[in-house]
Structure 1
């Protein structure tokens, strides 16, 4: 092989790697958006269940079944962490408190979505 052929193959490979890198970045962004949407839907679902449980308990106050499901309350600390994340700071244990510069952090999102 000539030097020019090798050089052109390297250039072609570099272009393909760049394309793959762009595709990977787009997939990462889509995944982060899906995780955020999933979290929002879980929170909404939890609130709706809480409202339904409150309505059911007000309609039937005499039923005290031990199998009644109790949903954990989201505390003020969780709200503060979610607010910090929305303001652009990391809340994960790897980079806690540092500024997020590359978009969403999957570690932070998974931490915020824990049950």
Structure 2
């Protein structure tokens, strides 16, 4: 095996790894979107169940408590990214909003 063919093999492998990395990033993004949709649907389902059982939303707690709960579950409650999954830890906008409430 000569050095040139070895170099070509390494370059091809590097290109394939790059493609796999891009595909992995795309899959990660799709998973994040599915998690957010799942959580949104769960909240919506809970809302409709409460309505159909005659409880209404007033008995489920105050708006501030609901927002705090949503934030604790890992979602943004700020106007910048409302409803999206918090992937980078705490959000200063959300925390400031909770403080004001």
- TM band (smaller chain): 0.5 to 0.7
Cα 1:82–1:95 change in 2 (3 A) is closer
* Structure 2: distance between partners of 1:6 and 1:19: 20
Q: 1:95 to 1:48 in 2, by over 3 A?
A: closer
- TM-score normalised by the chain length of structure 2: 0.63
The aligned length equals 80
- Structure 1 residue runs of 4 or more that deviate by more than 6 Å after TM superposition: none
Sort the Cα spacing of 1:76 and 1:36 in 2 relative to 1 into closer, same or farther, 3 A.
Answer: closer
Contact 2:70 2:77 in 1 (8 A): yes
Q: When the two structures are superposed, what TM-score results if normalisation uses the length of structure 1?
A: 0.57
What is the rounded CA distance, in whole Å, between the counterparts of 2:53 and 2:81 in structure 1?
30
From 69, 73, 85, give the equivalent of 1:78.
69
**Which residue number corresponds to residue 89 of structure 2?**
95
Higher relative contact order (CA 8 A, sep 6+): 1
- The alpha-carbon distance between structure 1 residues 86 and 23, as it changes in their structure 2 partners (threshold 3 A), is same
- Higher Cα radius of gyration: 1
Larger helix percent: 2
Separation (CA, whole Å) in 1 of partners of 2:89 and 2:76: 15
The gaps in structure 2 that reach 5 residues or longer are 93-101
- The gaps in structure 1 that reach 5 residues or longer are 56-71, 99-115
Q: Which residue of 2 aligns with 1:53?
A: 53
